[in-house]
Structure 1
């Protein structure tokens, strides 16, 4: 009887200790975000646009991102590579922690940079 009580007591302490060590998904994500040290990122993207009638168009995009941890400023550049009619078009987003983001569009045919107003963020962009 005494041996059974000791085993149950030890098992109780082991299981309660194990239960306290369990993390929720939210806890794990919070720790991962705090440990994230990604300062730069680069990706080549392929965007397939499909209309309601089933027609498709493709866009290839080179994506670059850079974060400055000291100022909490993130710059993201998307440069269109394909098809030829949109090649060279660039879209720059500068994300600020304390105010609205700045967005700029480079149009190679005009050789001009246009600042996009914050009120125009809900519309179509490059046929998407």
Structure 2
């Protein structure tokens, strides 16, 4: 009698492990996405401050996007070399600098759950 109950429990646990591991994979990727977003925000803020400071002290640089790119890349600490964040600066209004930083998100664990293969 006890053995039969243990077998049922093993089957239930085995069946429930698949969605449990799937939800864990998705939650890890979502947490990584939030961390990446915060890093990009920090990089964009640093780039906007650097361009604004450069404009205030020495006049606006000839290529503000190069300065913005360098600051965004220096402040995004995810360690990727092949996947540079892209930034764009907007200085169309006097006294205002806006920097937008973007980067493609790689869903490492969710790719295994949804498609069955790792990302390339």
Q: TM-score by structure 1 length?
A: 0.29
The structure whose residues are more often helix, as a share, is 2
For the pair shown, the structure with the greater C-alpha radius of gyration is: 1
Q: Which has the higher strand share?
A: 1
Which structure has more relative contact order (CA 8 Å, sep 6+)? It is 2
